[in-house]
A and B are shown apart, each in its own frame.
Chain A
Amino acid sequence: MFFIALTPFVFSILVSLMDYNLMYSSSPRFVGLRNFVQLIQDERFLNALRNTALFVVSCVSIEFMIGLPLAYLIYISVKKRILRNLIIVLITFPMMFPRVTSGLLWKFLYNPLFSPIGQFFQKVGIPFAPLSDPHTALFAIIFVDIWQWTPFFILILLSGLESLPQDMFEAASIDGANEKQKFWYLALPSLKPICWIAIMFRTIDALRTFDTIYVMTGGGPGIATETLDIYAYLIGISQGGRISYASSAALVLLAISVIVANLLVRFFREGEV
């Protein structure tokens, strides 16, 4: 098991230290850290880094900020078991879509000529082509991610709330606390560990979002929606053969994932205390 997991990892580190190009180099040489030095100077890589950061931070934070209050709202207002399950099924519906399908669905909905939304905007006279404008394309994709993955937070946080002792809330009610106070002083502190777990999972997941972006824009317009994953795939496999360079970029993504995950685990531990 250890061996299976480790082999590709060690291999990709080795490759990232060479100048291997599937198209041109017949005998790859070791070049040390040259690829990494080049990456730092590569406008397109830095752009991908920025896009990845913007994508992950906005997706996860917005999804959390919508998900948490919604979960609490469902928790306090829907007490009937069957009704609550029904709501959960309905609310998690977007999550059931494979990413490729949801990407294609939204690509159509964003179409300015043929989709109902596009036709509405056209009638009103507002220019609407979110995926074709470098200033809006990434946000249009972030919106899709929020649509699809906010239910993830609702689901996890709701089950977190359900696992909290009921008497705690009852006691607070007797003491005269209102719903707002119960949320801030009871629910939130006890939910903290679960919040961090949910955020961690979603962050790692969001870092490697590929399918949605690939089918919606392929990284365009220009390079406006290229994330690290997309960038590495394009230069390494799909549009060129710079395997070594792409491996270096992918390793940077891996390093970021590991660091972020570690930071979140640390927060989570502190939350426990």
Chain B
Amino acid sequence: MKGLKTIVFISLLVLTAVNVLFGVNLKGTTIYVAIRSLPETDFFMEKTAEFTRETGIKVRYVVYPELQLREKIVMDMVSGQGAYDVIALDCVYVTEFAEKDWIYPLDEFVDKKELSDFFEKVLGLFTHKGHLYALPVYSEITHLMYRKDIFDKLGISVPQTFDELWETAKKLNNPPKMYGIAMRGLRGDGMNVYTWTSFLRGFGGKFFDENWHPVFNNEAGVKATEFYAGILRNFGPPGVSSYTWDDVQSAFTSGKVAMIMDANNFMTRIEDPSKSAIAGKIGYALIPAGPSGRHPGIYSMGLAISKIGAKTEKEKLAAAEFIKWATSFDIQLDCALQRGVVSSARKSVFNNPAFQAKFGEDTYPGWLSSTVKSYELANPQFRPLIPEWREVGNIIGIAVEQVIAGGKSAKEALDWAAKEAERIMRESGKLK
């Protein structure tokens, strides 16, 4: 009996000690967060005092512009300085960072039940070799946005296939008053390639074969590029070959373009009457299907813990606490309701009655359903999640832009890109 008492006593002591070590001791820990400014991140940055009050963890933000953020983080990692404990990370970099052993897996910090609340495909973007490395702050899928008022007036139905998309764009094209369609034209792995890939996959194409030989220049790739460039050249606004997502958005909100295919969170701006001439006149739908089905684009930016920065156990735990808080249901729902941003990847946010009342089908026809459905349809490997992607993607971007701008045939441009991609895969060692 006495022995049992001792055991209980000792285990209590140990538990308290653990508690003191891990629970209370996080108080006063300061973590540094490298991040970029987005409506989503601005929102939790403003609320950080609440987090500090609850946990005692102090948070310092280092805010960089989008283009510099990666350079600064990589510099910090390579030099071994470790200035940041938490880093904002694009999903396309996760594999690279994980392979270089720069970030911790988050599996031990987040329980399964909590994880099941996120769209599976978004977590897939942050998963490498079975481990989860980041939690999503900002997520998007691509879908079709169209002028519902015009479609209704002319009795046109929403295009469901690539062929119908072509026909609809042709029918609605009436320059210079109205152009049929606009999509990203400017080169870049996250620019034109992002929307072009829906067509590559839709026509049944792939980027690489099993041995990492580039195959995006085969028949499907050529077809996809001819379609993408063709529809934009014939029915797109002038200058579309250098369109960024921002240009796509401005052209649409000016009322001069009938359809666009881009990110679902465009909604916040294109439905804002102070910024958009077409607020309340827009319909949303899944992107059209090719011979090989529908392939919406998917992208996410998440928060990860730096192995170089968070060296001590305390920093690591504090960083994990911060990430869980910043991506929590409360933060993301409040952000959506107060700021009108809709980039959460939490099912509970999308199922929330207040969220559904604000962004429901009555107000924004088709938006909610096509967003949720696209998250289910999407493939995390939409763009290959490999460290070489950025370089390869940029090369493909050049080829696609050349075809849209004119002067090069799809075959010619893609063959060049494939040759360059092969060199890159050889340099990286994936291709022997």
Q: Which residues of A contact B (CB under 8 A)?
A: 21-25, 43, 111-114, 118, 122-123, 127-129, 131-135, 217-218, 220-224, 234, 237-242
Contacts and interface: CB of A to CB of B under 8 A. Distances in A.
A234 B393 CA distance: 13
Given A132-B241, A132-B242, A221 B402 contact: yes
A128 B185 CA distance: 17
Contacts, number: 97
A221 B427 contact: no
A221 B405 CA distance: 6
A113 B401 contact: no
25 contacts: A23-B387, A24-B427, A111-B239, A113-B250, A114-B250, A118-B238, A122-B238, A123-B176, A129-B239, A129-B241, A132-B239, A132-B242, A134-B407, A218-B186, A218-B187, A220-B186, A221-B242, A221-B402, A222-B187, A222-B405, A234-B394, A239-B391, A239-B394, A240-B390, A241-B391
A189 to B, nearest CB: 46
A135 B185 CA distance: 17
A111 B399 CA distance: 23
B406 A113 contact: no
Contacts of B251: 113
Interface string B373-409: 0000000000000011011001000110110111110
A137 to B, nearest CB: 8
Contact of A24 (B238, B394, B428): B428
For B71, B250, B405, which residue has the most chain A Cβ atoms within 10 angstroms?
B405
Contacts of A132: 185, 238-242, 405
Given A23-B387, A222-B401, A114 B254 contact: yes
Contact of B71 (A122, A127, A237): A237
A61 to B, nearest CB: 26
A110 to B, nearest CB: 8
A220 B188 CA distance: 10
B256 interface: yes
B242 A131 contact: yes
Given A24-B387, A123-B176, A129-B241, 14 more contacts: A23-B387, A132-B239, A132-B241, A133-B405, A134-B407, A221-B405, A222-B398, A222-B401, A222-B402, A224-B405, A234-B394, A238-B67, A240-B394, A241-B391
Contacts of B187: 218, 220-222
Nearest to A122: B176
Interface residues of B, number: 40
Residue from B242, B250, B401 with most neighbouring chain A CB atoms (10 Å):
B242
Nearest to B177: A122
A21 B427 contact: yes
B296 interface: no
B96 interface: yes
A223 B417 CA distance: 12
Contacts of B398: 220, 222-223
Contacts of A239: 189, 390-391, 394
Contacts of A113: 237-239, 250-251, 254, 256
Contacts of B404: 221
Contacts of B189: 239
Nearest to A111: B239
Contacts of A221: 185, 187, 241-242, 401-402, 404-405
Question: Which 8 pairs show the lowest CB-CB distances between chains A and B?
Answer: A129-B239, A222-B402, A221-B405, A112-B238, A132-B239, A239-B394, A240-B391, A129-B238
A127 B398 CA distance: 23
B239 A220 contact: no
A217 B242 contact: yes
B3 interface: no
Nearest to A129: B239
A220 B401 CA distance: 8
